[in-house]
């Protein structure tokens, strides 16, 4: 699994999941979510949309194990990220993405807790996907002292979250949750959101800007995601075009 934390830091930051209460006075409980992730591979005429699977487990007590079983019987282990024992996650590596959709149907989740308790959950994954947004602008603005981003709205997206990644693929900034009607955003050192490092952006450094779009399951909100899409562009911080 590649950089679990940077794949899902948005969940805690945006939705505000409170975390593990670690209280033996209440029954351990958890839920699981399976969703399709889409991204663009290749360049120009060779560009194509590919798909992968993501799984998310979130509970009210610390997990010792979280496992999902796909409709065809394949078992997939979820892993904690960045020390969050009540949040486990799996996302296919980039090389595992393909033009074929992940297996759809009922995903079964089995949870074991550090308290010795166990529970289970299921989630239905349909074929509904969310294609990556088309980014129309990604450039440094010397007046605003930040990078201006713009993209074409996605009809099926319920919200967007923007990541800013360094050359190693580590997220250095996560935006606030942006509503479905938002189609532009400026990342500056004073922008609302979360800077994950000890220092701000470095002038003259190239960063990758990621437009993450999310689609809920039909009639369901909050942590029940059906699809996520990823669109990327690069810009040099401090270098106006």
Tens of pLDDT, residue by residue over 168-200, are 999 999 999 999 999 999 999 888 888 987 778
- At which of 92, 125, 158 does a domain end? 125
Same domain, 110 and 12: yes
Domain CATH code at residue 87 = 2.60.40
Domain CATH code at residue 201 = 2.60.40.10
Domain count along the chain: 2
**Structural domain boundaries, residue 225:** 135-236
Of 2-16, 121-135, 216-230, the least confident:
2-16
Same domain, 59 and 171: no
Residue 130 lies in a domain: no
Give tens-digit pLDDT for 72-94: 999 999 999 767 899 999 999 99
- At which of 98, 125, 152 does a domain end? 125
Same domain, 56 and 152: no
- CB burial readout 52-71, b (16+ within 10 A) else e: bbbbbbbbbbbbeebbbbbe
Tell the residue number behind the tokens 């004073």, with chain if given.
190
Percent of the chain residues topping a pLDDT of 70? 86
Same domain, 68 and 170: no
């Amino acid at each position: 699994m590649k950089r679990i934390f940077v794949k899902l830091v948005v969940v805690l930051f945006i939705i505000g999941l409170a975390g593990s209460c670690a209280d033996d006075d209440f029954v351990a409980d958890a839920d699981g979510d399976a969703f399709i992730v889409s991204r663009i591979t290749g360049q120009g005429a060779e560009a194509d949309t590919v798909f992968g699977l993501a799984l998310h487990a979130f509970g009210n007590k610390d997990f010792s194990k979280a496992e999902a079983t796909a409709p065809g019987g394949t078992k997939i282990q979820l892993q904690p990220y960045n020390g969050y024992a009540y949040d486990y996650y799996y996302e296919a590596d980039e090389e595992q993405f393909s033009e074929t959709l992940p297996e759809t149907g009922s995903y079964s989740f089995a949870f074991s807790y550090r308290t010795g308790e166990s529970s289970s959950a299921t989630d239905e994954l349909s074929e509904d996907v969310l294609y990556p947004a088309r980014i129309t602008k990604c450039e440094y603005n010397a007046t605003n002292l930040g990078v201006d981003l713009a993209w074409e709205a996605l009809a099926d997206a319920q919200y967007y979250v923007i990541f800013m990644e360094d050359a190693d693929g580590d997220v250095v900034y996560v935006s606030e949750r942006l509503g479905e009607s938002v189609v532009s955003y400026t990342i500056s050192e004073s922008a609302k959101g979360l800077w994950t490092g000890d220092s701000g952006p470095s002038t003259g450094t190239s960063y990758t800007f990621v437009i993450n779009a999310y689609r809920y399951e039909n009639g369901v909100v909050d942590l029940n995601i059906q699809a996520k899409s990823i669109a990327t562009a690069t810009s040099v911080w401090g270098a106006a075009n």
